[in-house]
Amino acid sequence: MSVLTSPQSSLRTRCDWRAALKSAIRNPAELCRILGLPADLVDAAVRADRDFPLFAPLPYIARMEPGNPRDPLLRQVLPLEDELRDSPRFIADPVGEAAAKRLPNLLQKYQGRALMITTGACAVHCRYCFRRHYPFDEGANSPLGWESAIREIANDHSIGEVILSGGDPLTRVDAQLADLASALEQIPHLRRLRVHTRMPIMIPQRVTRELIAWLRETRLLTIVVVHANHPNELDGSVQKALAGFVEAGIQLLNQTVLLRGVNDDLQSLVRLSSRLLECRVMPYYLHQLDQVAGAAHFEVPLEKGLRLIDQMRTQLPGYAVPRYVREDPGAASKTVLA
Ligand SMILES: *Cc1c(COP(=O)(O)O)cnc(C)c1O
Ligand code: SF4
Pick the residue with more confidence: 7 or 146?
A: 146
What pLDDT score was predicted for residue 12? Answer: 46
Counting ligand 1 atoms within 8 A of each CB, the residue from 93, 106, 107, 115 with the most, and so the one to mutate, is 115
Counting ligand 1 atoms within 8 A of each CB, the residue from 101, 103, 110, 158 with the most, and so the one to mutate, is 110
Is the C-beta atom of 126 inside 6 A of ligand 2? Answer: yes
* Minimum-distance ligand 2 atom for the alpha carbon of 131: 8
Q: Residue with the nearest Cα to atom 15 of ligand 1?
A: 109
- Predicted confidence (pLDDT) at residue 10 exceeds the cutoff of 60: no
Q: Percent of the chain, pLDDT > 90?
A: 90
Is the C-beta atom of 225 inside 6 A of ligand 2? Answer: no
- The alpha carbon of 196 and the centre of ligand 1 are apart by a number of angstroms equal to 10
Average pLDDT along the chain: 94
Say what the pTM is: 0.95
Is the C-beta atom of 162 inside 6 A of ligand 1? Answer: no
Give residue 225's region: left, alpha or beta (phi > 0; psi -120 to 50): beta
- The alpha carbon of 124 and the centre of ligand 2 are apart by a number of angstroms equal to 7
Is the C-beta atom of 131 inside 6 A of ligand 2? Answer: yes
- What is the rounded CA–CA span in Å between residue 108 and residue 162? 10
- What is the rounded CA–CA span in Å between residue 230 and residue 150? 35
Counting ligand 1 atoms within 8 A of each CB, the residue from 93, 109, 153, 253 with the most, and so the one to mutate, is 109
| Mean pLDDT for the stretch of residues 29-42 | 95
What pLDDT score was predicted for residue 286? Answer: 98
What pLDDT score was predicted for residue 15? Answer: 61
- DSSP annotation string for 129-143: -TTTT----HHHHSH
Is the C-beta atom of 338 inside 6 A of ligand 1? Answer: no
What pLDDT score was predicted for residue 140? Answer: 83
Q: Is 229 in contact with 259 (CB distance < 8 Å)?
A: yes
What pLDDT score was predicted for residue 139? Answer: 82
Q: What is the pLDDT of residues 269-311, one digit of tens each?
A: 999 999 999 999 999 999 999 999 999 999 999 999 999 999 9
Q: For strand 323-326 and strand 282-287, is the pairing parallel, antiparallel, or unpaired? A: parallel
Name the range with the highest mean pLDDT among 47-61, 127-141, 248-262.
Answer: 248-262
What pLDDT score was predicted for residue 5? Answer: 44
**CB environment 201-236: b (16+ within 10 A), e (fewer):** bbbbbbbeeebbebbeebebebbbbbbbbbbbbbbe
Q: Is 79 in contact with 146 (CB distance < 8 Å)?
A: no
Q: How confident is the model at residue 29 (pLDDT cuts 50, 70, 90)?
A: very high
Pick the residue with more confidence: 162 or 86?
A: 162
- Predicted confidence (pLDDT) at residue 55 exceeds the cutoff of 80: yes
Give the C-alpha distances (Å, rounded to integers) separating 82 from 55, 185, 221, 328. Answer: 18, 45, 42, 25
Is the C-beta atom of 125 inside 6 A of ligand 2? Answer: yes
Per DSSP, the three-state class of 161 is strand
What pLDDT score was predicted for residue 2? Answer: 40
- Predicted confidence (pLDDT) at residue 1 exceeds the cutoff of 60: no
Is the C-beta atom of 198 inside 6 A of ligand 2? Answer: yes
